[in-house]
Amino acid sequence: MINVAVIGYGYWGPNLVRNFLSAGCHVKTVVDMNENRLFALKKAYPFIESSMDIDSTLADTQIDAVAIALPVTLHYPIVKKALLAGKHVVVEKPMTKSAATSRELIDIALREKKVLMCDHTFLYTGAVRKISQLIKDEQLGSIEYFDSVRINLGLFQSDINVIWDLAPHDISILNYIMEKSPTSIVATGLSHTGNDMEDIAYLTMLYDDNFIAHASVSWVSPVKIRKVLIGGTKNMVVYDDIEPTEKIKIYDSGYRIKSDEDQKKMRIDYRTGDIFIPKIDTTEALSGMVTDFMQAIDKGRKPVSDAELSLSVVTILEAAEKSIKNHGKEVKL
């Protein structure tokens, strides 16, 4: 059995603890600086040790792996410490605040022969796995665009802007299903709080072929929207993560509007073919992530959410931030 420590018990930490327990791990220690949170931990799980000291937890030789759910700016130093202390590490997204530090952590993990992965939870959802499969099975044809809207009223964070908070979801999904990287980024955005932290932003990812990707992210929308459109020459997918049971809808795109007469019909009808809503697996995504992490440790298997993918996400985020600060100037990768 693998012994795990969870570092950080704020919003996401309790989900990690619950899923590590369900996966049959021994959660030995949970670290947090907040007494109330540790009190809540004791009430729910009297058998787990609580601690306020990261260093001594990392020094505990009984602990094989740590899950880190801390503010983004702490990812780099704590992950580094944990890897150097000989722990396998899973860290919340995004991996770090810069491509350089992410690269350094990957190199350390390789050298130390430890698993390093970033918790891009969406890659473990039934919906994303279904879309990935549809693409692999060439059900969509040649993919022409990826268009994501991820907006809601959100927590104004003080250390990262909305791009670093929300766009890792879109970009990790995009990179995972498309298996290719953009050649340049154009991004715009605005901060309404006077601290230069954008609360609304728009990212375009440009490629060297007939494909384009875009993400709208916002902390200031009155409605919650989580909608991704993926258009292929054969079929198009609408992935609406708010929908409880119809997350993935597949539309025939073989027919395109070519005449006035077509258009007149479309004004009444809006669509052109059948729609198919596949049943998708509803297993909790985080449980898949935890299992994947365990198997990466046990069997040396490359995880779905592997560190190179996480680095590519950080690379794009960094470019996007640079582009925003320069009014949409194209940043080549």
Site for its own copies in 160-219 (CB under 8 A): 184, 186, 188-190, 192, 200, 202, 204, 206, 210-212, 214, 216, 218-219
Nearer to its own copies, 105 or 163 (CB): 163
Separation of CA 103 from chain center: 18
Give CA–CA dist 12/310, Å, rounded. Answer: 19
Quick check: 145 binds its own copies (CB under 8 A)? yes
The rounded distance, in Å, linking the Cα atoms of 58 and 33 is 15
Cα–Cα distance measured from residue 289 to residue 115, given in angstroms and rounded to the nearest whole number? 13
Q: How far is the CB of 321 from its own copies (least distance, A)?
A: 15
CB of 222 to its own copies, least distance (A): 4
Q: How far is the CB of 84 from its own copies (least distance, A)?
A: 30
Yes or no: say if 61 and 83 are a contact pair by the CB < 8 Å rule: no
Residue 144 CB burial class (10 angstroms; 0-12, 13-18, ≥19): middle
Q: Which residues, at least 6 apart from 314, have a Cβ–Cβ distance to it below 8 Å?
A: 94, 95, 96, 97, 98, 99, 102
Among 10, 71, 77, 86, which residue interacts with its own copies (rule: CB under 8 A)?
10
Nearest approach in angstroms of CB 109 to its own copies is 30
> Smallest distance, Å, CB 26 to its own copies?
13
Among 111, 180, 224, 322, binds its own copies (CB under 8 A): 224
Q: Using the rule CB under 8 A, which residue among 81, 147, 291, 333 binds its own copies?
A: 147
Shortest distance, position 188 Cβ to its own copies, whole Å: 4
142 in Cβ contact with 232 (< 8 Å): yes
Window contacting its own copies (CB under 8 A); options: 96-104, 171-179, 223-231, 304-312: 223-231
Among 33, 52, 277, 308, binds its own copies (CB under 8 A): 277
Q: Which is nearer to its own copies, 108 or 225 (CB)?
A: 225
User: DSSP characters for 172-237?
Assistant: HHHHHHH----SEEEEEEE-SSSSS--SEEEEEEE-SSS-EEEEEEESEEEEEEEEEEEEESSEEE
Site for its own copies, residues 282 to 301, rule: CB under 8 A: 282
Considering beta carbons, is residue 124 or 310 the nearer one to its own copies?
Answer: 124
CA of residue 193 relative to chain centroid, distance: 26
Question: Is the bond leading into 94 cis (omega within 30 degrees of zero)?
Answer: yes
Residues 228-257 that bind its own copies (CB under 8 A): 229, 231, 236-238, 244-246, 249, 251, 253, 256-257
Residue from the set 1, 62, 258, 300 that interacts with its own copies by CB under 8 A: 258
Residues 6 or more apart whose Cβ sits within 8 Å of residue 317: 94, 163, 164, 167, 168, 171
Minimum Å gap between C-beta 145 and its own copies is 6
Q: Binding its own copies by CB under 8 A: which of 53, 153, 298, 322?
A: 153
The candidate with the shortest Cα–Cα distance to 91, out of 75, 106, 71, is 75
Residues 61-100 that bind its own copies (CB under 8 A): none
